[in-house]
Amino acid sequence: MVVYLIGAGPGDPELITLKALKVIKKADVIIYDRLINNKILEYAPEDAKLIYVGKKPGGHSKTQEEINKIIVEEAKKENIVVRLKGGDPFIFGRGGEELLTLKSHGIKTKTIPGITSAIGVPTAASLPITHRGLATSFTIVTGHEDPTKGKKQVHWDYKADTIIILMGVGNLKENTQEIMRYRPADTPVCAIENGTTEKEKITFGTLEDIHTKNIKPPAIIIIGRIVNLYKKIIKEDP
């Protein structure tokens, strides 16, 4: 038995890797998340067992503990189990927790990386997150920490030229107010909803007003001077 932790990419089904599809095509079980493009599941064998364990703001179909239990149970019954996760399994995908659980049960695992939405979404929209002379560094940070931790790890005093926030729509006002303690209120911000899909929507603002723009999840928030460069790029795009 073996469990494959596979990253499905940021949304566009064509952005999944060839290696991932090769495994999906022979999977006995696929345990998949909410943001997986259903077109990817069409590559699964007709008799493959598909198990939805998606999470969404305000409601989860399964807790993480329940998901871990399902993966272990299916791994013990089947030969090839695919744990299919949006983006990359180890970029805020809790892949590490699932990997540790499987290891504790003596279950063999393999990981196939995916394009994380933090990079794939802005670059697919032609937004460079680094640029010579303008942005030489970037930080990827969660906008929604696990409330059960009891102590916050995110302090928002990042020195990187570009800040990319994942899962930050629900706490957008709170997070941008925190960032304004360290950066000017007029720092440009860009939000990309449903990136790399037909429903993609791009919204511009500043740290001060981006929370008023009616942004809906899932969305990536990009903060920094690189956003002004992006405005120039799309303006000049023929």
pLDDT digits (tens, 9 = 90+) for 153-170: 888 999 999 999 999 999
**Catalytic one among 1, 49, 55, 62?**
55
Amino acid, single-letter form, for residue 168:
G
Active site residue 33: yes
Cα-based torsion angle of the residue sequence 74, 77, 82, 88 in order, rounded to the nearest 10 degrees: 50
Give the model's pLDDT for residue 59: 58
**Catalytic one among 33, 85, 88, 161?**
33
**Catalytic one among 85, 88, 161, 167?**
167
* CA-angle at 89, arms to 85 and 93, nearest 5°: 80
Active site residue 231: no
pLDDT band at 235 (very low <50, low <70, confident <90, very high): confident
How far apart, in Å, are the Cα atoms of 171 and each of 98, 144, 210, 220?
26, 7, 12, 13
pTM over 0.85: yes
Active site residue 49: no
